[in-house]
Structure 1
Amino acid sequence: MNITLRFLLTLIFVGFTLGTLSSCDSDSDDEAVLGDWEKRSDFAGVARSAAVAFTIDGKAYMGTGHSGSARLQDFWQYDPDQNAWFRKADFPGAARSGAVGFAANGMGYIGTGYDGTNNLKDFWQYDPATDTWTQIADFAGSARYGAVAMSIDEKGYVGAGYDGNYLKDFWQYDPASGTWVEKVGLSGAKRVNGFAFVFNGKGYIGGGRNNGIFESDLLEYDPATGSWRNLKNLNETAREGEAYPSPRAFATAFVVNDKAYLVSGTNGAALSDVWEYDVASDLWVQKDPFEGSPREAAVGFAIGNYGYIATGASGTYRFDDLWRFDPTLDSDY
């Protein structure tokens, strides 16, 4: 072999070796995206969207919603230890979709919504110890659907939604007195089908639609002062150089391990993206996508160190699956 050919072969080998080493080094520098989804036992009722859910003592309760052909009033308990669903006493109010639910003082509450003809304002209390329902005072605002609800310090809060007009009022329910009290309305836009979550004794509301616009504001409510604080909007103007979720309606939110998670929804098409929100820094990080089908109008809840998403819709199709999210595991997406 002549000297020139030997020199060229040596260069090729060295270049290949360096390129291989460089590729391995690059892969080792990549950080794993934490957050993994696992499919769990399918919901035992019929597939549906726009249902409600709440958690009490480590179990989830879910009911009402729309099957695509009918509104529903069945009611179910999910036990994560058994990974099993159990039928409970049916919700005694009119079958409905677009209602709200929350838990406070060991009881569950469901109210408002739409029965196919009328907007509703009745409210009902569920006792898991006796599997019984009791009607309580009607919601003190107007009859509506697509409101948001949350529970802070054993009191329930309901606001926004649609009663023929888009709304931004905000109400507190005190289980001890059985009364509703109007609070200062949302400091941002009116909205229907927004998202809400609670972190460290404060409530957070965002998303939804108002006259065809997907709202980008994010609001913080402090029950100690009864006041609102506007956080940075979910748009380029407010968050230049930052990652953030697109404005959306019908999204699902839950809190696990001191972080909030926003999953799915619609911005004109059903979504499957997953975003982690750090409340302290007001910053968002995108995770790998939800491993189920893209969807809107699902239910979400958290139990222990896991988040869950169930049911929902994509177009005319309704889902009956249940997925568990572990924010500490590497994604296998």
Structure 2
Amino acid sequence: MPELPEVETIKRGLQRTIVGKTIQSVEVRLPKIISLGPLTVSNIRKNSRAKAAKFEKVLGGRKIVGIKRRAKMLMIKFVPPQAWGGIKGEVEPRSKQQPLSNSPLARGERGTWWLLVHLKMTGQFIFVKKGQRKIMKIFNVVGSRRLELPHQYTHVIFHFTDGSTLYYNDLRQFGYLRLVRDSEIDQVRELKEFGPEPLSRDYTYGCFAAKARTRPRLTVKQFIMDPKVVAGVGNIYSDEIMYCARVRPMRKVKSLQAAELKKLYNCVPKILKEALRYHGSSVGDYFRVDGSEGTYGKRHRVYGRGGQKCRRCGTIIKTVKLGGRTGSYCPNCQK
């Protein structure tokens, strides 16, 4: 599953490629991944052509003016022609004039909308310029099949007025694209339940330590992966963070000494920033928006390296099952 470094890399790639573009049309190939409104997305989703048709209608003719990330969720802001919002990172507005009521691009559902995208296990966005062909590997493994876009795992296609295209692919179909009115965005429960962003000023040791005191029985791995503690950390980076802090994943939070907890706190942004410099870890089917791979996976110290030698001391990396997840650690470097 893409974690904070991967989703942030995708966000930055989309900011470079689609902000300022206008949607010509949207093609929904798999309606069950589409959701409308602020209510929590159900795990039981049914195909609805009517829902997909509204999704296509609302976005058709709209301009993308900004993209944000909250935890592992992408937030893409759409406005009608000639209407502009004001979130950080947007392109500058050319005009604050409201769209004409008789404009064909302004008909239908008016106003500002947000597209909330959760990639879950295997979701990906790939941008293709006008006239360009894109042939993609399905997985980041030697010998993986290569398919030209769009392919059988392409479920939503965004066509832009300049001839470029954005493909949403999802092999396992767990991801979702949720359309929410700007006036209802504060009602999206998931956005309010996430913990602090670890790369922001909201991430403080006082808050981190307070959450540790209320979760004494969790293992350290479960604690770091709790989205209410730290937003955006999953299986990959929890292992790397614990290696950085020299703490074993199966230890209970209550067993941590003050110095260990502080080290763990400091290692969260340290590892995430390091992973971002290498555009994330291309594990499974994660690719950047241009189709290239993130290279941080080649620098993993413990994740996915069970049975191999520790890069620091040469001890064999061990694995342990914790709450349905596999944790990897060095029994010598981590205590």
TM-score of the superposition, structure 1-length normalised? 0.27
Rg larger for: 1
User: Per residue, is there more helix in 1 or in 2?
Assistant: 2
- Greater strand fraction, Structure 1 or Structure 2: 1
State the structure with bigger RCO (CA 8 A, min sep 6), 1 or 2.
2
With structure 2 as the length reference, what TM-score do the two structures score?
A: 0.27
